[in-house]
């Protein structure tokens, strides 16, 4: 246990204030309690199913983007029917236009749809598309009618403007008529929150239907509020479900920043759209991706990576890679099994309870490097790297991370991923979650064979607070390339025998 005591001092238990997430975090875990018997601390503020009471129509769930894409394809089709281009290379214009529109954010959901705002980007997309077409014509056919291409561009430009104008007008009128509306909760009942609520009530063209406020009862002045205060911050999850909330706007409330991070993580896990009013917003420079409600800028929070289609691709890669690796490495696995058996006797595979996605526990598999005295030692002994009972085989396997190879089976079964926060035992999760800020937020995604923290050498007797920070950075900034970077850095560590 001496190693664990050293790690305790390294990761700042003595200097870090006790961190207790707001109760919304705990309530978000309530949905998991029926499915798992994980200890409360191991599963806090993790399991967050989608809003049960959501009544939003299926055709509103993906915003206006898919419809605008269909409209642009329709405009291209109409323009093509009018100009009748003779070459299939005309399709290049469509591809380039869509690409430029994606880069310019013309397919993202927006509170304010404006032709004047989009005009420069539409013009640029059409010009770039025609330029690409002319370039290809010049390289392949050498002869083309430049005047004809300009006519094609003008007709396409007019068709896109016409279709977009119809689309924007239709969306605006549907919002005003209440056909398209997103039930919205305002966090913070101060001056800014009240201005937002009044503006949304007076201007339904933004498509936001303000339902009420969330604010501490001591701070909220019910006599002045344009809408009801629906409850305190620790009731957020119940309020979201009860009132079928789709959007959350974070105004300036009484909640502290540390607790606000937990609230926003819970909202993201619930699949809600989150906006916040930037600090000193009167001095805020509006950018292309900034929304606004009647002069008040709103920053839209980036959707968590685990909501993106790429996350499904990540799982497919996990299945394919782990399955192929188990086959390809089967001779090495057999050699390791024989070596473990010869050094330590029966019991080749070591099974240990760990905390995974949403605080649910599972049995992680490893090649046994030494035999624990009993189950209590297995659950509570922090690190055996310097244990005198480690034999040559166990020490070699730990230093090369070969003892982790059986976890490929955990990955294939869906209990783990190739890359993600490393799983920890419930005993230590209970301890760390009470002292380390956002420690249990690591469990928003599947745990991994290796992770961003381990790629930076944070393993064994290193700072737990640093590990949690790196793990949460990975979750917030995940991309396929980040996974590739982690795998490359991990392979380098394996070759250099930096395992623990």
363 shares a domain with 226: no
Residues 114 and 250 in one domain: no
Domain identity same for 428 and 313: yes
478 vs 314: CA distance, rounded Å: 11
402 and 435: one domain?
Answer: yes
Task: Look at residue 26 and tell me if it is in a domain.
Answer: no
Angle between helices 91-104 and 146-176 (to 10 degrees): 40
Domain assignment present for residue 365? The answer is yes
Where a domain ends, among 275, 303, 331? 303
Domain with 264 in it: what CATH number? 3.40.50.720
Q: How far apart (Å, rounded) are the C-alpha atoms in residues 35 and 363?
A: 16
Rounded Cα gap, residues 17 and 408, in angstroms:
38
Q: In this structure, are 452 and 319 located in the same domain? A: yes
Picking from 155, 176, 197, the residue at the C-terminal end of a domain is 176
β-pair partners for 424? 355
Per residue, the 3-state secondary structure of 78-133, as one string, reads HHHHHHCCCCHHHHHHHHHHHHHHHHHCCCCCCCCCCHHHHHHHHHHHHHHHHHHH
**Which position has the higher pLDDT, 146 or 316?**
316
Q: Quick one: which of 361, 421, 352 has its CA closest to 381?
A: 352
The SS3 call for residue 370 is coil
Residue 30 lies in a domain: no
- pLDDT of 286: 67
The verdict on 257 and 217 lying in the same domain is yes
In a domain, 385, yes or no: yes
Give domain status of residue 38, yes or no: no
- pLDDT-derived band at 263 (thresholds 50, 70, 90) equals confident
Question: Is 217 found in the same domain as 363?
Answer: no
Ranking 58-62, 123-127, 258-262, 325-329 by mean pLDDT, the lowest is 58-62
Cα gap 260→254, rounded to integer Å = 10
Of the candidate ranges 168-172, 199-203, 458-462, the one whose mean pLDDT is the lowest: 458-462
Least confident of 20-34, 48-62, 158-172, 331-345: 20-34
**Which band of pLDDT confidence, cut at 50, 70 and 90, is reported for residue 423?**
very high
Neighbours of 36 (CB within 10 A): 17
Q: What is the pLDDT of residue 220?
A: 65
> Is-contact 238 270, C-beta < 8 A?
no
Please state, in angstroms and rounded to a whole number, the distance separating the CA atoms of residues 456 and 352.
25
Phi and psi (nearest 5°) for 77? -65, -45
Please indicate, yes or no, whether residues 201 and 93 belong to a single structural domain of this protein. Answer: no
Query: Is the same domain home to 162 and 199?
Result: no
- Tally of domains within the chain: 3
Whether the Cβ atoms of residue 3 and residue 461 lie closer than 8 Å to each other: yes
> Mean pLDDT across the chain, nearest whole number?
80
Q: Is residue 285 part of a domain?
A: yes
Domain end call among 124, 145, 176: 176
pTM, rounded to two decimals: 0.70
On whether residue 81 sits in a domain, the answer given is yes
Give yes or no: residues 189 and 296 share one domain.
Answer: yes
Same domain? 233 vs 160: no
Residue-wise pLDDT for 433-482, tens only, equals 888 888 888 888 999 999 999 999 888 778 889 999 999 999 988 999 99
Residues 490 and 374 in one domain: yes
- Per-residue pLDDT tens digits for 317-344: 999 999 999 999 999 999 999 999 888 8
* 192 occurs within a structural domain: yes
Task: Print the domain residue range for 148.
Answer: 59-176
Query: From CA 295, how far away is CA 96, in angstroms rounded?
Result: 34
């Amino acid at each position: 246990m001496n190693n664990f005591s050293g790690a305790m001092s390294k990761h700042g238990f003595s200097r870090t204030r006790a961190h207790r997430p707001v109760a919304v975090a705990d309530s978000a875990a309530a949905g998991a309690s029926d499915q798992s018997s994980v200890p409360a601390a191991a599963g806090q503020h993790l399991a967050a199913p989608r809003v049960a009471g959501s009544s939003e129509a299926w055709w509103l769930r993906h915003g206006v983007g898919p419809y605008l894409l269909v409209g642009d394809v329709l405009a291209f089709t109409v323009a093509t029917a009018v100009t009748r281009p003779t070459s299939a290379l005309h399709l290049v214009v469509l591809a380039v236009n869509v690409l430029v529109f994606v880069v310019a954010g013309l397919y993202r959901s927006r509170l304010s749809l404006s032709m004047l705002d989009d005009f420069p980007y539409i013009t640029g997309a059409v010009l770039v598309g025609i330029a690409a077409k002319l370039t290809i014509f010049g390289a392949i056919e050498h002869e083309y009618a430049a005047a004809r291409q300009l006519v094609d561009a003008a007709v396409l430009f007019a068709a896109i403007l016409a279709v977009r104008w119809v689309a924007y007008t239709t969306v605006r009128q549907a919002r005003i008529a209440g056909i398209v509306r997103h039930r919205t909760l305002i966090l913070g009942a101060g001056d800014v929150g009240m201005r937002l609520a009044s503006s949304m009530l007076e201007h339904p063209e933004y498509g936001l239907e303000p339902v009420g406020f969330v604010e501490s009862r001591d701070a909220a002045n019910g006599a002045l509020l344009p809408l009801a205060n629906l409850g305190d911050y620790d009731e957020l999850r119940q309020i979201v479900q009860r009132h079928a909330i789709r959007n959350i706007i974070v105004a300036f409330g009484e909640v502290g920043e540390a607790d606000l991070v937990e609230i926003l993580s819970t909202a993201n896990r619930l699949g809600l759209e989150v906006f916040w009013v930037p600090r000193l917003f009167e001095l805020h420079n509006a950018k292309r991706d900034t929304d606004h409600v009647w002069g008040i800028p709103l920053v839209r929070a980036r959707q968590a990576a685990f909501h993106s289609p790429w996350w499904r691709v990540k799982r497919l890669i996990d299945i394919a890679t782990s399955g192929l690796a188990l086959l390809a490495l089967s001779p090495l696995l057999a050699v390791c099994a024989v070596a473990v058996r010869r050094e330590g006797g029966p019991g080749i595979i070591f099974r240990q309870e760990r905390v995974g996605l949403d605080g649910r526990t599972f049995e992680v598999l490893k090649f046994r490097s030494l035999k624990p005295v009993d189950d209590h030692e297995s659950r509570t002994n922090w690190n055996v790297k310097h244990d005198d009972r480690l034999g040559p085989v166990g020490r070699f396997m730990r230093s090369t991370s070969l003892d982790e190879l059986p976890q490929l089976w955990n990955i294939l079964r869906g209990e783990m991923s190739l890359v993600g926060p490393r799983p920890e035992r419930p005993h230590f999760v209970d301890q760390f979650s009470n002292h380390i800020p956002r420690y249990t937020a690591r469990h928003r995604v599947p745990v991994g064979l290796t992770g961003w923290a381990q790629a930076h050498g944070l393993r064994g007797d290193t700072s737990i607070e640093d590990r949690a920070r790196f793990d949460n950075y990975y979750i917030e900034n995940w991309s396929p390339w980040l996974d590739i970077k982690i795998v490359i850095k991990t392979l380098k560590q394996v070759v250099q025998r930096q395992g623990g």
